[in-house]
């Protein structure tokens, strides 16, 4: 990452879909994901997303898929959805070889700033697979709170991957945006 200039942020377009799918897959699935610490390769196989899913996020009203660029290349992304009094944060990915260098913190800060300043929301929500304790701890260090509210993992829907265990569920995390 070019730390002098910092990352650049812009809304994704349909032209970005192939590169975004590759980035998201590389951050969460397969051997390439093991270069970073956000891998889900031990709990989920198959795909994390697909071109249709990414394009749907880009085209959805009240949604923004943010592209993060540094040195002229795509290095990260995140999804923001305006949901009334709060924003939803998802589809968060940082190129595995750049994880641990502060880029993820910068992406989260920009997402929170945008949701607060552009949409006027006071709270951010996200869901995390509950067995991802290391990831949940990272979000907690960024000010997110575990709510204890869970929702079912979409077992049988291969658009979200093929689970290697039967105890997956999503937990809601929230953060007040000051």
Per the domain annotation, does 1 fall within a domain?
no
Is the pLDDT reported for residue 22 higher than 90? yes
84-109 residue pLDDT tens: 999 999 999 999 999 989 999 999 99
Which helix (H) or strand (E) element contains residue 13? none
- Provide the mean pLDDT of the chain: 91
Q: Residue 73 belongs to what domain range?
A: 8-176
Residue 21 falls within a domain, yes or no?
Answer: yes
Within-domain flag for 3: no
Within-domain flag for 60 = yes
Kindly indicate the confidence band of residue 158, based on its pLDDT and cuts at 50, 70 and 90.
confident
Q: Per-residue confidence at 5, pLDDT binned at 50, 70, 90?
A: low
Q: CA–CA distance from 27 to each of 46, 48, 156 (Å)?
A: 13, 9, 22
Task: Name the residue among 47, 66, 58, 72 with its Cα closest to residue 108.
Answer: 66
Pair 55, 14: CB distance under 8 Å: yes
Share of residues in the chain with pLDDT > 90 (%): 71
Please check whether residue 42 lies inside any domain of the structure. Answer: yes
* Residue range 11-21: mean pLDDT, rounded: 97
Give the model confidence (pLDDT) of 35-82 as tens digits. 777 777 788 887 788 999 999 999 999 999 999 999 989 999 999 999
118 within some domain: yes
The pLDDT > 70 percentage for the chain reads 96
Query: Residue-wise over 2-32: b if at least 16 C-beta within 10 A, else e?
Result: eeeeebebeebeeebbeebbebbbbbbbeeb
What is the reported pLDDT for 29? 78
CA distances from 52 to 45, 63, 157 (A): 19, 15, 15
**Domain assignment of residue 168, yes or no:** yes
Angle at Cα 59 formed by Cα 168 and Cα 139, nearest 5°? Answer: 40
What domain count does the chain have?
1
pLDDT recorded at residue 79: 97
Q: What is the mean pLDDT of residues 154-178?
A: 90
The CATH number for 112's domain is 3.40.630.30
What confidence score (pLDDT) does residue 93 get?
A: 95
Assess contact for 69 and 79: CB atoms under 8 A: no
- 88, 125 contact by CB (below 8 A): yes
Q: Rounded distance, CA 97 to CA 33, Å?
A: 9
Q: In this predicted structure, what is the pLDDT of residue 2? A: 43
Mean pLDDT of 13-32: 90
| pLDDT greater than 60 at residue 133 | yes
With respect to residue 102, please indicate whether it lies within any of the assigned structural domains: yes
H-run or E-run covering 163: strand 162-163
């Amino acid at each position: 990452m070019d730390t002098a200039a910092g990352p650049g942020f812009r809304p994704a377009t349909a032209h970005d879909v192939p590169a975004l799918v590759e980035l998201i897959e590389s951050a969460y699935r397969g051997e390439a994901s093991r270069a970073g610490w956000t891998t889900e390769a031990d709990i989920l196989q198959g795909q994390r997303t697909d071109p249709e899913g990414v394009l749907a996020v880009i085209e959805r009203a009240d949604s923004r898929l943010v592209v993060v660029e540094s040195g002229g290349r795509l290095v990260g992304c995140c999804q923001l959805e305006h949901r009334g009094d709060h924003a939803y944060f998802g589809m968060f990915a940082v190129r595995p070889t750049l994880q641990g260098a502060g880029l993820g913190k910068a992406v989260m800060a920009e997402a929170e700033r945008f949701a607060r300043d552009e949409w006027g929301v006071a709270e951010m929500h996200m869901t995390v697979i509950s067995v991802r304790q290391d990831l949940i701890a990272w979000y907690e260090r960024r000010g997110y709170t575990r709510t204890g509210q869970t929702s079912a993992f979409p077992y049988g829907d291969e658009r979200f991957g093929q689970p290697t265990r039967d105890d997956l569920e999503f937990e809601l995390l929230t953060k007040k945006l000051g």
